[in-house]
Amino acid sequence: MQTFTRSELPEVGWREFRKVGTTRIVRINGPFVTVTREGPLHCPDGWLALDRGGWPYPIAADEHELIYEAA
């Protein structure tokens, strides 16, 4: 199985993509755990979102501010 870290990523083959559509999210204050399709993920403070399949996933508060805007 391949493992990727921030410092060890593929050097070639990257393509640009833009997300399409809106995402439903709700603010959760404080730590929480979300059971995603990949397994449980811990979030110290942030947002709970739903993917297109209805699966929940966490978004850290600082990441949310960088990549999302209200629709």
pLDDT tens sequence across 13-46? 999 988 788 889 999 999 999 999 999 999 999 9
Residue type at 69? E
Domain chopping of the chain, boundaries? 25-67
pLDDT band with cut points at 50, 70 and 90 for residue 56:
very high
Rounded CA separation 48/28 (Å): 7
Residue 25 forms beta bridges with which residues?
49
The reported pLDDT for the residue numbered 36 is 92
20 DSSP assignment: -
